[in-house]
Amino acid sequence: MAKGFFFNLPAHGHINPTLPLTQELVRRGEEIVYLTGESERRKIEGTGATFRALPYDLRGFSKSPKSPEVDFLLFDCALKCLPSLIETARREKPDYILYDFVNLWGKILAEQLRIPAIAVYPNPVPVRAMMPPAFVFTLIDVLLPLGRRVARLRRELATRFQRTPETLVEFLTDTRRDLGIVLTSERFQPRREDLGPAFRFVGPCYPVLPDAPEFPLELLKGRPVIYISLGTVYGDNRRFFHRCIEAFRDVDCRVVVSTGNGVAPEVFQDLPPQFILRGFVPQWEILERANLFITHGGMNSIHAGLYHGVPMIVVPQGLGTDQHGNARVVESLGVGQRINGHFFRPASLRAHALRLISDTSVRSRMDALRSEFRHSEGPRRAADEILRFTQNAS
């Protein structure tokens, strides 16, 4: 039995896909110590791994995915946590390090102690050519006070740990990995030819999450169901939800809207009677009954839509995220429609929705994809790759 340290951020999109992988490693006799935010303790302990809270306030990572705030948090966390992490690792002697690809401290810890390292990607691997133009990040560094603080943190991190200074974009798009485990299909990877053989696309990992919120599923019978969600990070987009309400105000269907943490459902007044608007809903149970999924295009959401065979309208929200690439793939496969997240009109959204619900050719293509994604062996294949790599490295 070998021991692995697993580092991750306390964000659903990063944590949830790793839960089946962690459980599979534990099932095979590995001792996994999982270090992340306290909010994820129950999920991690449910896999059989040992949970430890990373010695840093990680709550900021779940509030905003936008640079330079997260840029600052990543470098600040690395500087403040690495001394104690190095001391702990020297004492406990893990055999390998697993780290979500944005966890800079996991990579540096492995470098410092010369431990085999595996980067885990819950979404397609970021490719430099697909990122926003470099001058955008240069302007952030030069013009914004927080950006200038980040530049100082980068230099300090490089000096203290004798590394070449690197920006966040340089770190995220560095493909010089010992092993990269990508928890999705190669279908979604842009510029696959830019990646070396160290990257293994094992397919999606579907977590079984406890305590799904109660929901009146009996109300979803008898007419088409449209499910709308922007995930847990972008749910503060009130304008988006207002447009959705207008789009389907007079449509004979049941519309379920999940707003996540971003905005209280009570904010939306004069809701049509066919709408059910909640902060959180049992997504998988609703997708089992849905005829259309309107989503921001995060990888976990796309996987869930494909698993259940639900046509999708993808409305990407974040600059430089994988959502835009995911939307293009969904559209190219003929199982959904990509629309602009900022400039769409309610009438256009309604027209796309009604077309996708009624188009039998879309349903036929989705049925074929559903079989592929429903039979994914992502956790098993990922564990196979990790154990083969660590055994060869020992």
3-state secondary structure the chain: CCEEEEECCCCHHHHCCHHHHHHHHHHCCCEEEEEECHHHHHHHHHCCCEEEECCCCCHHHHCCCCCCHHHHHHHHHHHHHHHHHHHHHHHHCCCEEEEECCCHHHHHHHHHHCCCEEEEECCCCCCHHHCCCHHHHHHHHHHCHHHHHHHHHHHHHHHHCCCCCCCHHHHHCCCCCCCEEECCCHHHCCCHHHCCCCEEECCCCCCCCCCCCCCCHHHHCCCCEEEEECCCCCCCCHHHHHHHHHHCCCCCCEEEEECCCCCCHHHCCCCCCCEEEECCCCHHHHHCCCCEEEECCCHHHHHHHHHHCCCEEECCCCCCCCHHHHHHHHHHCCCEEECCCCCCCHHHHHHHHHHHHHCHHHHHHHHHHHHHHHCCCHHHHHHHHHHHHHHHHC
Position 269 scores a pLDDT of 84
pTM of the full predicted structure?
0.90
pLDDT at residue 271 above 80? yes
pLDDT at residue 278 above 70? yes
**Percentage of residues in the chain having pLDDT higher than 70:** 92
Position 62 scores a pLDDT of 66
The pLDDT tens digits for 337-383 are 999 877 899 999 999 999 999 999 999 999 989 988 998 899 999 99
Determine the Cα–Cα distance for residues 385 and 114; give it in Å rounded to an integer.
20
| pLDDT-derived band at 1, boundaries 50, 70, 90 | confident
Mean pLDDT, the chain, integer: 89
* Residues contacting 145, CB < 8 A, separation 6+: none
The CATH class, in words, for 3-205+377-393 is alpha beta
Whether 3-205+377-393 shares its CATH topology with 217-374 is answered: yes
Which two structure tokens, joined as six digits, stand for 284? 């998988």
The arrangement of strands across the sheet holding 336-338 comes to 275-278, 254-258, 225-229, 292-295, 312-314, 336-338
The pLDDT tens digits for 197-254 are 899 999 999 987 766 788 999 999 999 999 999 987 777 789 999 999 999 999 999 9
Position 261 scores a pLDDT of 75
**Counting Cβ atoms within 10 Å, is residue 251 exposed (0-12), middle (13-18) or buried (19+)?**
middle
What mean pLDDT is predicted for residues 293-312? 96
Give the residues across from 35 on adjacent strands: 7, 52
**Counting Cβ atoms within 10 Å, is residue 86 exposed (0-12), middle (13-18) or buried (19+)?**
middle
Would you list the domain boundaries of the chain?
A: 3-205+377-393, 217-374
* Residues contacting 207, CB < 8 A, separation 6+: 16, 17, 19, 20
Task: Say which CATH architecture domain 217-374 belongs to.
Answer: 3-Layer(aba) Sandwich (3.40)
The pLDDT tens digits for 245-267 are 999 999 999 999 999 877 877 88
* Residues contacting 4, CB < 8 A, separation 6+: 25, 30, 31, 32, 33, 94, 95, 96, 97, 98, 390
Determine the Cα–Cα distance for residues 382 and 6; give it in Å rounded to an integer.
14
What mean pLDDT is predicted for residues 23-36? 98
